[in-house]
């Protein structure tokens, strides 16, 4: 399975928009703009598309993104997303994220980092890890396994990202050799 970045996913959804919704992406953007909804409020646009028009979820995201871009919004880069996630009351968690990021990126030259609003995905052949500042005191690392290893540190999960399991970290010291082994196993199983 080939991994796609957000732009690639949006392009794929946009290409089949008329088939799935009865309108082209450009027609939807024009409808959003004539609706009175602020096109920069992507959450409100998605809700309106769902409740008023029954638009499927992936199409909602593509339409809201296109309407916001048409209104002048620019997608943040990875570093801007990370900075937003670890700002304010979650600033103290940034060193944990930075250490986990270093370990994940150090697993291989094929690791890419993607930007999201609430978590940071790490992708190889597909997403194998996702890191999120879940609370003011905890970072969760979602890991995707095809064959989950036995570990007291792991709990079954459906988030962050495409996780099958997660582990929780509250300090840099919690990034032990066992945690590094679990990260490596997720990397190895998703090549």
Residue matched to tokens 């890419």 = 112
Residues 99 and 179 placed together within one structural domain of the fold: yes
For residues 183 and 102, the answer to whether their CB atoms sit within 8 Å is: no
**pLDDT tens digit string along 166-182?**
999 999 999 999 999 99
What pLDDT sits at residue 102?
Answer: 98
Number of domains in the chain: 2
Q: How far is CA 158 from the centre of its chain?
A: 13
Assess contact for 97 and 128: CB atoms under 8 A: no
Long-range Cβ pairs for the range 86-92 (8 Å, 24+):
86/133, 89/136, 90/133, 90/136, 92/136
- Tell me: do 55 and 145 sit in the same domain: no
Residue 27 CA: distances (Å) to CA of 138, 161, 172, 191: 43, 31, 49, 39
Encoding tokens for residue 165?
């399991």
Q: Does residue 89 sit in the same domain as residue 139? A: yes
Is 23 a residue whose pLDDT tops 90?
A: yes
| Contact in structure between 187 and 125 (CB atoms under 8 Å) | no
Q: Is the pLDDT of residue 3 over 90?
A: no
Q: What is the pTM of this model?
A: 0.73
Q: How confident is the model at residue 58 (pLDDT cuts 50, 70, 90)?
A: confident
Q: Per residue in 81-140, pLDDT tens?
A: 999 999 999 999 999 999 999 999 999 999 999 988 899 999 998 999 999 999 999 999
**1 domain-assigned:** no
User: Residue length, the chain?
Assistant: 191
Do 140 and 111 lie in one domain? The reply is yes
Q: Are residues 66 and 82 in the same domain?
A: no
In terms of domains, do 43 and 98 share one?
A: no
For residue 73, the model assigns a pLDDT of 84
The domain in which residue 101 lies consists of: 78-188
Exposed/middle/buried for residue 118 (C-beta within 10 Å: 0-12, 13-18, 19+): middle
pLDDT of residue 5: 61
pLDDT tens for each residue of 34-48: 999 999 898 999 999
Report pLDDT for 13: 72
Share of the chain above pLDDT 70, in %: 95
Instruction: Quote the CA–CA distance of 160 and 162 in Å, as a whole number.
Output: 6
């Amino acid at each position: 399975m080939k991994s796609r970045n957000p732009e690639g996913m949006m392009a794929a959804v946009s290409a089949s928009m008329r088939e799935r919704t009865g309108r082209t992406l450009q027609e939807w953007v024009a409808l959003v703009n004539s609706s009175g909804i602020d096109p920069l409020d992507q959450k409100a646009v998605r809700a309106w598309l769902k409740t008023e028009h029954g638009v499927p979820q992936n199409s909602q995201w593509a339409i809201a993104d296109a309407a916001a871009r048409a209104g002048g919004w620019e997608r943040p880069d990875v570093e801007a997303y990370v900075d937003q996630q670890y700002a304010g009351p979650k600033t103290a968690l940034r060193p944990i994220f930075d250490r986990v990021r270093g370990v994940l990126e150090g697993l291989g030259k094929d690791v890419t980092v993607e930007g999201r609003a609430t978590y940071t995905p790490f992708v190889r052949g597909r997403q194998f890890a996702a890191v999120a500042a879940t609370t003011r005191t905890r970072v969760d690392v979602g890991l995707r396994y095809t064959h989950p290893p036995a570990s007291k540190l792991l709990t079954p999960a459906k988030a962050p990202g495409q996780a099958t399991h997660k582990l929780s970290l509250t300090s840099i010291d919690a990034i032990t050799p066992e945690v590094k082994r679990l990260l490596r196993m997720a990397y190895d199983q998703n090549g």
